[in-house]
């Protein structure tokens, strides 16, 4: 014999029930079966809702009941042959009259007790099972209806009644000894206490009913039919990549369901486990799927799968209670007293941690139990509190639990290191940790807001190690931004295959609009940013990133705006990595620069700005590597401005200087205001950043800057600037001629030596490394402790949207 249980979704409507009927027909062709059913989907909640409304003196409860009644009436109409309908319609109506009468009583008394709750909710399973039974009979199937409430005996702990296993087993055995139908339909969830009062087995308890029947009848197998294809590696509503676990041990399934995998009601496992009966979770809507086989010894263990765990589960609405005090040290009985007083209040303890000094003990409980627990503990420890042996109990709410579960975790080293490492890198703050002594699970308590993120991070780490999901937020869609976005779209496949990362553009903005999508912004949506985006502000963009709280997030600043860097700090504090080609932050006050670097370090994330200097050239990376390996940078000599290089490479006196500058601007090499380049501000920022990265706490205004621009050029608008340039053509010609005299050329050079930086035009001889620089080339010459004779030289294209975008791309990939 087999026991099949169908959950609420499986029996939600006529269409689903027909699907269930097919499964029943097939199964009953092979053996005798017991079919345990839940109430129609959502009915239990709605019955409670009606009764609570009545208790709250809300007049709306009859309407709620009417809606539920109609649901059942419609079901009868859709399922039953016409002739049988009227009897069943009256049947439903009669029972809803009863329910309404109970609710009227609740309304009058203004009181809704646990006992009444069980009476009300039991109608859900009662009605569904009766209707389904009637339907099967009308089809000519050999089916009888068994009232589980008459067979399952419990204590009187209403809403969570405890089963009297012995009497229940006896009843069920007796019933089956006398029953000869091929199919037996039974309601799940409901039972009775010894006095004949209706009780229930706890929310989700139909699974348990089925397991009790399977155990009592020594069934061959218990099948739990639901709306997913088995127990999954994580809650599929949270993790899109969750996959069904094909085989799993009883113990693992128990841990997963205890910590929130609500596909299986936790007590369900015990009865079948005691009888070594296989339990299979199957999908009503995909009956061919293998599902999950839960058994004593699964054939495929996590070890063979090369995975450190079988699944991850999570729970919300958790509170931590901490009892601490010097009086607890070495005195036996404190913990026992705590658990006793929680137990007296029927508060279940989900997780326990105790510091090894025994100075404190922390338990996780359901948030709804907090005030009862607090009261009970305060009463129970009254004397200890008075004598200051313990502190008043500390309560933290708004928490959740994430548990990593697997039988084989104990034989694997480094599991917790891996778990904490990847969570830490994403800024998830762990409030408490518990590891069962059997090492079948490691559970952590974190803020409820971080649950989704944490489960996804862990899932990726353990089950999808082949691919890492990166979420990008790109600020700026100008020249470089657009190139970067194109590169990301073009290279995503390559990255997935070769670097195992999948980059999603989860947010995008320009100076007017912003757009977000957790699943990734498509190329089409990117093109419609201005049409479909929301109003942009730097603060709102950052706040949205923070509230989305997605794993492996990177904020990319592809602007030159001073308004963007002020949001870096709060992003870093939430472990959002920052990649900036915007130089403003790294060249701001030293204290600010340092603070951002420290913030990144303290929050386990990256603040990268390689493209601040030399576009995609590995200049900052080179400095970082030198320093990390113990070298010291003594001097830096560099040509760092693509713009100035272009200008002085093209200026030979044949065309006015102003025309050459205008050409540089047209070709996109200059800042919108070319004075930023020509006056050396940009170069000064770059040498400042290099010096800082080399370990020198330099400030911008200490940089010596010998400007070659006459003062008049610095005044007024960009237009005025060009006019002034033209006016001073002789001055520029003279500069050129002076250099030519001894066969040299003009280069705008930045230097850092002996702790000081300076920038300005220099005459460069042909034998200098700086001489042969063409187009937009940059060069940086490092003299270090190790490279003291022959310097270390980095040279190449140091400007241009495409190379800058590549450099940003490289920073992004390195940051996660």
Eight-state DSSP code of residue 310: S
What's the rounded Cα separation, in Å, for the pair 121 and 125?
Answer: 8
Nearest to ligand ASP of 124, 481 (CB atom) = 124
How far, CA to CA in Å, does 745 sit from each of 409, 709, 776?
A: 68, 17, 16
Phi, psi of 280 (to 5 degrees): -125, 135
Q: How far is the CB of 68 from ligand ASP (least distance, A)?
A: 13
Residue nearest to ligand ADP (CB): 7
SS3 663: helix
481 binds, among ligand ASP, Mg ion, ligand ADP, none (CB under 5 to 8 A by kind): none
Complex with ligand ADP: residue 8 or 427, whichever CB lies closer: 8
Tell me which residue has tokens 């991070």. Answer: 457
Which string of x and - marks every residue 201-240 that binds Mg ion (by CB under 5 A)? ---x------------------------------------
Give min distance, CB of 5 to ligand ASP, in A: 8
236 binds ligand ADP (CB under 6 A): yes
Q: Note whether 210 binds ligand ASP by CB under 6 A.
A: no
Q: Considering only residues 27, 75, 102, 263, which one is a binding residue for ligand ADP as defined by CB under 6 A? A: 263
CB-nearer residue toward ligand ADP: 237 or 528: 237
Task: Examine residue 40 and tell whether it contacts ligand ADP (CB under 6 A).
Answer: no
Cβ closest to ligand ASP, residue 45 vs residue 164: 45
CB of 44 vs ligand ASP, minimal distance in Å:
4
Q: How far is the CB of 300 from Mg ion (least distance, A)?
A: 25
Stretch that binds ligand ADP, among 224-232, 504-512, 586-594, 775-783 (CB under 6 A): 224-232
> For residues 622 and 619, what is the distance between their CA atoms, to the nearest angstrom?
5
The residue among 131 and 263 lying less far from ligand ADP, judged by its C-beta, is 263
Which among Mg ion, ligand ASP, ligand ADP, none contacts residue 816 (Cβ within 5 to 8 A by kind)? none
Q: Which of 69, 73, 68 is nearest to 14 (CA)?
A: 73
State the alpha helices, DSSP H only, in 442-584: 451-463, 479-499, 523-527, 529-532, 538-548, 568-573
Q: Shortest Cβ distance from residue 347 to ligand ASP (Å)?
A: 20
The least CB distance from residue 38 to Mg ion, in Å, is: 7
Measure CA 96 to chain center: 43
Binding span for ligand ASP by CB under 6 A among 36-44, 340-348, 372-380, 527-535: 36-44
CA-based nearest residue to 294, from 309, 272, 311: 272
Comparison of 23 and 232: residue with beta carbon closer to ligand ADP: 232
Q: How far is CA 426 from the centre of its chain?
A: 10
Would you list the DSSP string of 75-117? HHHHHS-HHHHHHHHHHHHHHHHHHHHHHHHHHHHT---HHHH
Cβ-based nearer residue to Mg ion, 7 or 260: 7
List Cα–Cα distances, 806 to 463, 493, 611, in angstroms.
Answer: 31, 16, 9
Residue count, binding to ligand ADP (CB under 6 A): 20
Helix (H) or strand (E) holding 318: strand 311-324
16 sits near ligand ASP (criterion: CB under 6 A): no
Q: Give the helix/strand (H/E) hosting 211.
A: helix 206-216
Told to check if 8 binds ligand ADP by CB under 6 A, we report yes
Buried b or exposed e, range 591-610, using 16+ CB within 10 angstroms: ebbebbbebbeebbbbbbbb
Structure tokens at 498: 């070769």
The tokens describing 312, both together, are 């991850």
Burial class from Cβ neighbours inside 10 Å (0-12, 13-18, 19+) for residue 680 reads: buried
Q: State the minimum distance, in angstroms, from the CB of residue 206 to Mg ion.
A: 7
Strands 577-580 and 553-557: parallel
Site track 189-208 with ligand ASP (rule: CB under 6 A), x = hit: x-------------xxxxx-
The correct pick among 79, 191, 261, 419 for binding ligand ADP (CB under 6 A) is 261
Nearer to ligand ADP, 227 or 712 (CB): 227
- Judged by CB under 6 A, which of 2, 6, 8, 752 binds ligand ASP? 8
In angstroms, what is the minimal distance from the CB of 461 to ligand ADP?
A: 17
The CB-based long-range contact list for 372-375 (8 Å cut-off, 24+ gap) reads: 372/345, 372/347, 373/321, 373/342, 373/345, 373/347, 374/321
Q: Binding to ligand ADP by residue 231, rule CB under 6 A?
A: yes
By CB under 6 A, name the one of 170, 227, 278, 712 that touches ligand ADP. 227
Q: At its nearest, how many Å lie between ligand ADP and the CB of residue 379?
A: 36
Which residues inside 152-211 make contact with Mg ion, applying CB under 5 A?
Answer: 204
Minimum distance, C-beta of residue 285 to ligand ADP, in the bound complex (Å)? 11
CB 403 within 8 A of CB 256: yes
CB 50, CB 43: distance < 8 Å:
no
Are 39 and 151 in contact by the 8 Å Cβ rule? The answer is no
Report the partner that residue 674 touches, choosing among ligand ADP, Mg ion, ligand ASP, none (CB closer than 5 to 8 A by kind). none
DSSP secondary structure, 696-720, as one string: ----GGGSEEE--S-GGGGSS-HHH
107 and 64 Cβ atoms separated by less than 8 Å: no
Which listed range, 3-11, 232-240, 311-319, 733-741, lies at the site for Mg ion (CB under 5 A)? 3-11
Q: Name the pairing type of β-strands 777-784 and 792-797.
A: antiparallel
Among ligand ASP, ligand ADP, Mg ion, none, partner that 39 touches (CB below 5 to 8 angstroms by kind): ligand ASP
659 lies in the binding site for ligand ADP (CB under 6 A)? no
Phi, psi angle pair for 69, to nearest 5°: -60, -45
Site for ligand ASP in 163-192 (CB under 6 A): 188-189
Q: Which residue has the tokens 């002076």?
A: 738
Q: Give catalytic residue positions.
A: 686
Size of the site for ligand ASP (CB under 6 A): 13
Q: Which residue from 44, 226, 575, 762 is in contact with ligand ADP, where contact means CB under 6 A?
A: 226
Nearer to ligand ADP, 444 or 679 (CB): 444
Owner of token pair 């015990």: 270
Using left for φ > 0, alpha for ψ between -120 and 50, and beta otherwise, residue 322 falls in beta
Per partner kind, with CB cut-offs from 5 to 8 A, the member of ligand ASP, ligand ADP, Mg ion, none near residue 227 is ligand ADP
Closer residue to ligand ADP (CB): 8 or 187: 8
**Candidate residues 7, 271, 291, 481; the one interacting with ligand ADP per rule CB under 6 A:** 7
**Quick one: 188 or 298, whose CB is closer to ligand ASP?**
188
| C-alpha span between 644 and 689 (Å, rounded) | 19
- What single string gives the DSSP state of each residue in 421-457? HHHHTTTPPEEEEEE-TT-SEEEEEEEGGGHHHHHHH
Q: Which of 23, 33, 35, 39 binds ligand ASP (CB under 6 A)?
A: 39
Question: Residue 266: CA atoms inside 13 Å, Cβ hemisphere, count?
Answer: 12
The binder of 44, among Mg ion, ligand ADP, ligand ASP, none, by C-beta within 5 to 8 A per type, is: ligand ASP
Q: Which of 101, 120, 110 is nearest to 43 (CA)?
A: 120
- Rounded to a whole number of angstroms, the minimum distance from the CB of residue 294 to ligand ADP is 12
Which of Mg ion, ligand ADP, ligand ASP, none does 203 bind, CB closer than 5 to 8 A by kind? ligand ASP
Interaction site with ligand ADP (CB under 6 A): 7-10, 38, 204, 226-228, 231-232, 234-237, 261-263, 311, 313
Interaction site with ligand ASP (CB under 6 A): 7-8, 38-39, 44, 124, 188-189, 203-207
């Amino acid at each position: 014999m087999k026991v099949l249980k169908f959950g609420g979704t499986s029996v939600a409507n006529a269409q689903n029930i027909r699907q269930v009927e097919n499964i029943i027909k097939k199964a009953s062709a092979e053996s005798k079966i017991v079919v345990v059913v839940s109430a129609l989907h959502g009915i239990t909640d709605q019955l409670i809702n009606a009764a609570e409304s009545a208790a709250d003196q809300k007049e709306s409860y009859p309407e709620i009941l009417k809606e539920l009644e109609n649901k059942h009436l419609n079901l009868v109409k859709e399922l039953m042959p016409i002739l049988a309908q009227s009897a069943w319609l009256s049947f439903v109506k009669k029972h809803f009259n009863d329910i309404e009468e109970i609710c009227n009583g609740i309304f009058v008394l203004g009181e809704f007790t646990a006992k009444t709750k069980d009476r009300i909710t039991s109608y859900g399973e009662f009605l569904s099972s009766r209707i389904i039974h009637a339907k099967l009979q009308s089809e000519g199937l050999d089916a009888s209806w068994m009232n589980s409430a008459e067979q399952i005996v419990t204590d009187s702990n209403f809403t969570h009644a405890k089963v009297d296993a012995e009497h229940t087993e006896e009843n069920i055995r007796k019933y089956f000894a006398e029953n000869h139908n091929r199919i037996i339909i039974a309601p799940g969830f409901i039972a009775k206490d010894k006095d004949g009062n209706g009780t229930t087995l706890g929310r989700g308890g139909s699974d348990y009913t089925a397991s009790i029947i399977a155990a009592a009848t020594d069934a061959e197998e218990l099948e739990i039919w639901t709306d997913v294809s088995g127990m999954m590696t994580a809650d599929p509503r949270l993790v899109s990549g969750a996959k069904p676990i094909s085989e799993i041990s009883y113990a693992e399934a128990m841990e997963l369901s205890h910590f929130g995998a609500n596909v299986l009601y936790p007590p369900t496992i015990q009865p079948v486990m005691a009888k070594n009966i296989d339990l299979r979770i199957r999908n009503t809507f995909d009956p061919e799927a293998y599902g999950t086989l839960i058994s004593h010894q699964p054939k495929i263990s996590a070890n063979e799968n090369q995975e450190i765990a079988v699944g991850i589960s999570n729970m919300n609405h958790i509170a931590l209670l901490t009892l601490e005090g010097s009086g607890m040290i070495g005195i036996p009985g404190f913990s026992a007293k705590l658990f006793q007083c929680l137990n007296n209040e029927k508060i279940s303890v989900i997780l326990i941690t105790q510091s090894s000094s025994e100075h404190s003990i922390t338990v996780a409980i359901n948030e709804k139990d907090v005030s009862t627990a607090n009261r009970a503990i305060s009463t129970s420890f009254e004397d200890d509190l008075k004598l200051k042996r313990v502190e008043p109990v500390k309560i933290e709410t708004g928490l959740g639990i994430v548990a990593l579960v697997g039988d084989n975790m104990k034989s694997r080293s480094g599991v917790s290191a891996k778990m904490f490492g990847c969570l830490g890198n994403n800024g998830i703050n762990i409030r408490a940790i518990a590891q069962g002594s059997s090492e079948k699970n490691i559970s952590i308590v974190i803020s409820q807001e971080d649950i989704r993120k944490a489960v996804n991070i862990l899932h990726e780490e353990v089950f999808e190690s082949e691919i890492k999901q990166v979420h990008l937020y790109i600020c700026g869609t100008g020249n470089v931004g657009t190139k970067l976005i194109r590169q990301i779209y073009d290279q995503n496949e390559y990255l997935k295959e070769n670097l195992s990362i999948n980059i999603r553009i989860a947010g995008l903005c320009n100076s007017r609009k912003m757009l977000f999508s957790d699943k990734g912004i498509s190329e089409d949506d990117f093109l419609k940013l201005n049409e479909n985006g929301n109003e942009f502000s730097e603060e709102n963009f950052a706040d949205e990133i923070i509230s989305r709280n997605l794993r492996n997030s990177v904020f990319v600043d592809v602007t030159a705006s001073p308004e963007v860097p002020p949001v870096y700090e709060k992003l870093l504090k939430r472990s959002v990595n920052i990649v900036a080609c915007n130089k403003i932050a790294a060249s701001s006050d030293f204290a600010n620069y340092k603070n951002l670097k420290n913030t990144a370090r303290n929050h386990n994330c990256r603040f990268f700005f390689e493209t601040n200097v030399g576009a995609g050239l590995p200049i900052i990376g080179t400095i970082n590597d030198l320093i990390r390996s113990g070298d010291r940078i003594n001097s830096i000599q560099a040509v760092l401005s693509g713009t100035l290089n272009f200008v002085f490479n093209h200026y030979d006196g044949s065309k006015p200087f102003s025309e050459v500058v205008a050409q540089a601007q047209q070709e996109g090499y200059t800042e919108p205001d070319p004075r930023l380049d020509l006056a050396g501000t940009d170069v000064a920022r770059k040498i400042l950043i290099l010096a800082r990265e080399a370990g020198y706490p330099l400030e911008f205004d200490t940089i010596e800057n010998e400007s070659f621009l006459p003062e008049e050029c610095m005044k007024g608008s960009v237009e005025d600037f060009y006019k002034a340039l033209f006016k001073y053509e002789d001055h520029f010609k003279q500069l050129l001629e002076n250099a030519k005299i001894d066969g040299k050329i003009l280069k705008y050079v930045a230097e850092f030596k002996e702790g000081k930086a300076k920038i300005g035009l220099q005459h460069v001889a042909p034998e200098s490394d700086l001489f042969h620089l063409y187009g937009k080339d940059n060069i940086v010459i490092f003299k270090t402790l190790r490279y003291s004779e022959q310097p270390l030289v980095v040279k190449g294209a140091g400007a241009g949207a495409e190379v800058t975008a590549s450099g940003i791309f490289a920073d992004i990939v390195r940051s996660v």
